[in-house]
Amino acid sequence: MPKTPSSRQMHYVTLFGQDVLSFDGNVLLCKVCEKVVSSHKKSLVKQHIEGATHKALCEKKKESGSTTVVQMKSFLGATGKQSQFHVDLCDALLSADIPLRKLDNEKLSAFLGKYCKQHVPSSITLRLHYIKSIYEGKMEYIRSFEFLLHADNLEKTNNSTIAQSFMNALNVLWPNGVHHERVLLFVTDAAPYMRKAANALQVLFPRMKHVTCAAHALHRVAEEARLLFPEVDKLVSNGKR
């Protein structure tokens, strides 16, 4: 029976040693060199293991008593838990516009490991296991903010001027052409001219939903309450002074 891709990579781990290779279900990783090894053919894996670079790193780590091989298991294990140091390091490098490949520099890696007292990952480790989560976190952070794109002082307030003001705001966001399919919500009060403007705009933006806010209606109720209870209104007004 031919071997499946997963069983083939696990066979390489057993053949060459679990202290040399590891397989996380996706890629075959050389723990010594801290890089992904092509596992399509046994000859490619053997070529890497017998390469001068791999052998030199093996000797160096034996002499220095490095614990990198043991530490690499922390993020490739079954739990899939990410190292917070690796997350912070990747985030810092990306934020400072420093290429991740700089971590593959032997001097820099040794310096960070010595003074941070942490295992310094290779660039391929950060690309495979950390960039995606950092990207998703940044996108969530950006989505948490509201941005004022455009403000208009309208001489007349009706459905036509509201619709035009809305289009002006979208032209600021997309100066090279409005992305009609990406406009999803139109939030206004429940005034009749707002409803009319929304109906007209939905012809141009088929995915857009009109959501009316209750704040305007509540304000009108509060104004009516002030008229019904003038003494209370006067007391509250005096309390603000």
DSSP string, 12-68: HHHHH-TTTEEE-SS-EEETTTTEE---SSHHHHHHHHTSHHHHHHHHHHHHHT--H
Long-range Cβ contacts of 154-157 (<8 Å, 24+ apart)? 157/193
Q: Do residues 86 and 67 share a domain? A: no
Q: 173 to each of 141, 144, 182, how far by Cα in Å?
A: 19, 18, 12
Question: How confident is the model at residue 240, as a pLDDT?
Answer: 66
At position 222, the amino acid (one-letter code) is A
Taking residues 73-77, report their average pLDDT.
Answer: 41
| pTM strictly above 0.95 | no
Q: Give domain status of residue 60, yes or no.
A: yes
Q: What is the mean pLDDT of residues 85-104?
A: 91
- Please state which of the ranges 26-40, 93-107, 218-232 shows the lowest mean pLDDT: 26-40
Residues 132 and 180 in one domain: no
Query: Within a domain: residue 154?
Result: no
Residue 138 domain flag: yes
Last residue of a domain, one of 41, 71, 101: 71
**Contact between 76 and 60 (Cβ < 8 Å):** no
Q: Do residue 213 and residue 190 come from a single domain?
A: yes
Beta carbons of 125 and 101 less than 8 angstroms apart: no
DSSP 8-state code for residue 140: H
Residue 152 lies inside a defined structural domain of this protein: no
Q: Answer yes or no: is 124 within a domain.
A: yes
Q: Mean pLDDT for the chain?
A: 83
Has residue 175 been placed in a domain?
yes
DSSP symbol at 175? T
Domain that holds residue 133: 82-145
Give the DSSP H/E element, type plus range, for residue 211. strand 209-212
Q: Is the pLDDT of residue 54 over 80?
A: yes
Q: Is residue 210 part of a domain?
A: yes
Q: Do 63 and 90 share a domain, yes or no?
A: no
Q: Is 86 found in the same domain as 67?
A: no
Q: Are residues 1 and 65 in the same domain?
A: yes
Do 91 and 137 share a domain, yes or no?
Answer: yes
Same domain, 49 and 95: no
56 shares a domain with 20:
yes
CA–CA separation, 199 and 197 (whole Å): 5
Cβ proximity of 161 and 60 under 8 Å: no
Query: 104 and 37 in one domain?
Result: no
Any domain includes 86:
yes
pLDDT for the residue numbered 14: 87
141 with 167, same domain? no
Judged against a pLDDT cut of 90, whether residue 184 lies above it is answered with yes
Residue 149 in contact with residue 169, Cβ under 8 Å?
yes
Same domain, 205 and 172: yes
Last residue of a domain, one of 116, 145, 174: 145
Last residue of a domain, one of 49, 71, 93: 71
Residue 186 CB contacts under 8 Å (≥ 6 apart), including other chains? 166, 198, 201, 205, 208, 209, 210, 211
